[in-house]
Structure 1
């Protein structure tokens, strides 16, 4: 099955001076010569992205756009017309946003959070700023402790609304956030709590996986600083965040685990790596 607006693994059927043709279901799809990998021959399978060119022909590329059909991404407007705006999404042909799909009139050079979709009438890829209709928490596809991908949507009094896996909305609370973020930023995290249809998320990985990753980071920093660091459980949250890039709570939990494993010891002024015997 051919998927427009997505990646497909297609076989090379024939070669021409201007590219190669790939096997489709009921048609041959051109991969222009500039995108054909060196050494490609008939019978090879290539991973390509499919979309329609300016003449509405289905065409393939080995370029990787900034998003595919269904993705919610932040893209920069490059030009506008009375009919709509065009966004740079990493391909030669810019992505069209109809005027009816804009919340406010787009301006060249500005970034906009949009969802990439396939227009039902034309079958062509387009983008829309009207994202809310695609998001729902009525039937959740995630559960507590699931790792998820998020896009920052908007700021609120208690934190940031994030879009989870391009499907749901959740809240990343201010007290769980130890770095600056902006709408459109992509983040990785996990579901901490689900209350009815409300989802609370945090950054990083759940449970012991998160501790293990932070533990490796602390041990690396110790090694890079001759086995000693002037930080401990009395250090300020700001100092710990600036140096380690983690919350004080995570820092204390991690150094506690490392102490129990006899990988570090506490001094009056910091932490010290235990020398291997």
Structure 2
């Protein structure tokens, strides 16, 4: 019987408070120990369940730390990475809704940023050293490096951590390891954000670097439209040009200075704007 997994077990005993199940290979073993049996509570039992028949159940532990079986489908199983909602936070950790009567425990030491009730966070379930099911937000070493993606593929993922020095860590398909490097962060991201990105590079170890932007020649159309919309909204003039500060451009347009220069250069060549000493202006 595997804690934290769904499996088929055999019915070996009926009682007033439920059915006892065991591993299929042990159902005929007369020397079977009671520790090899697990209870399926009465409220989970149906009339068609007979001794010797097999049923699929999920194994977890009840509030008294005893193995218990359920026919309910949990939102997450051991080794899986899913978003779960925080129900409660206290001094020892947090409790997450995973679709079962007993909430899933997230120890305080497994939290990589502050969380509050109602938050939806990305976690993986594991069995701790005390043989208990727990969740962790620390996904970095647990994500797969066997990515099926290649350079320039478009991918979807969830941000699970933002590091001031390195960038935004992403679980692509909630499974594969990736990073949006700091230099590619032209828009603010936070943990929990779902993003669509382009693969910049697949490294030798299988980790991916991502960009939130398309290739330059594709992105130029979108960037030019952003600049035009802001120009029109500002009455036809903006105090930015190719010598403006990169951080100011990033804050105003959510793009790099290089991307901004490409966009205004294109608009200038098409005679849509004028580039002046004090900024850019819509051409008449």
**Is 1:168 paired with 2:194?**
no
Match of 2:86 in 1: 76
- Give 1 or 2 for the bigger CA radius of gyration: 2
**Is 1:135 paired with 2:140?**
no
Within-5 A mapping of 1:191-230? 191-196=199-204, 197-230=206-239
- Shift in CA distance, 263/185, structure 1 to aligned 2, threshold 3 Å: same
Contact 2:97 2:104 in 1 (8 A): no
Q: Which stretch shifts more, 147-156 or 229-238? A: 147-156
- Where in structure 2 are there 5+ consecutive unaligned residues? 1-45, 47-68, 128-133
Q: Which stretch shifts more, 180-189 or 235-244? A: 180-189
- Where in structure 1 are there 5+ consecutive unaligned residues? 1-26, 28-54, 60-66, 120-125
Match of 2:261, SS state, is: helix
Match of 1:226, SS state, is: coil
Q: CA RMSD in A?
A: 4.2
Match of 1:266 in 2: 275
Match of 2:50 in 1: none
Count of aligned residue pairs for this structure pair: 205
Contact 1:77 1:112 in 2 (8 A): no
**Is 1:189 paired with 2:197?**
yes
Q: How big is each residue's C-alpha offset from its partner over 1:116-136, in whole Å with a ceiling of 9 and x where there is no partner?
A: 6799xxxxxx95546456512
Match of 2:116 in 1: 109
Contact 1:147 1:206 in 2 (8 A): no
CA distance, structure 1, for counterparts of residue 230 and residue 270 of structure 2: 17
Q: CA deviation at 1:229?
A: 1.4
**Is 1:234 paired with 2:243?**
yes
Contact 1:148 1:189 in 2 (8 A): yes
